[in-house]
């Protein structure tokens, strides 16, 4: 687990990398809890979709009926091979 300051430092680095694009993440605090909002582009070379879970542990989001053709989050090459994800540059962030 990351402590709050370390998470905010990583968030700041992420936002510097994506400056001027729609991929920046916002954060706020509500009732003592840190909330991070925004679009997050994930491409880890996954072969199956990520299953998201709602705040209520009993309610799950279901994938579309044809989940075998659903490749959200996948980064596949021309022949179904997984492409190497791009890496973030090493950025020093200071306050």
What is the spatial distance between Cα 74 and Cα 72, in angstroms, rounded to a whole number? 6
What are the distances in angstroms from CA 10 to CA 19, 33, 89, 90? 14, 17, 12, 11
Residue 26: band (very low, low, confident or very high) from pLDDT cuts 50, 70, 90: very high
Look at the chain and report how many structural domains it folds into.
1
Strand 26-30 relative to strand 33-37, pairing? antiparallel
pTM greater than 0.75? no
pLDDT of residue 13: 93
Q: Is residue 66 part of a domain?
A: no
pLDDT of residue 12: 93
Q: Is residue 15 part of a domain?
A: yes
Q: Is residue 23 part of a domain?
A: yes
Q: Is residue 29 part of a domain?
A: yes
Q: What value does the mean pLDDT take over residues 29-35?
A: 89
- The answer, yes or no, to whether residue 79 has pLDDT greater than 60, is no
Q: Is residue 86 part of a domain?
A: no
pLDDT of residue 9: 92
Q: Is residue 34 part of a domain?
A: yes
Q: Is residue 17 part of a domain?
A: yes
Q: Is residue 8 part of a domain?
A: yes
Write out the residue range of the structural domain in which residue 26 sits.
4-38
CB < 8 Å & 24+ apart, contacts of 13-20: 13/88, 13/91, 13/93, 14/88, 16/91, 16/93, 17/88, 17/89, 17/91
């Amino acid at each position: 687990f990351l402590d709050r300051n370390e998470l905010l430092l990583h968030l700041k680095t992420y936002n510097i990398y994506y400056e001027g694009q729609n991929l920046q993440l916002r954060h706020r605090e509500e009732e003592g809890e840190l909330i991070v909002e925004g679009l997050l582009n994930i491409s880890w070379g996954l072969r199956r979709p990520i299953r998201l879970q709602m705040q209520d542990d009993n309610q799950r989001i279901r994938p579309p009926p044809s989940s075998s053709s659903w490749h959200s989050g996948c980064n596949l090459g021309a022949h179904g091979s997984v492409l190497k994800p791009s890496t973030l540059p090493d950025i020093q962030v200071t306050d």
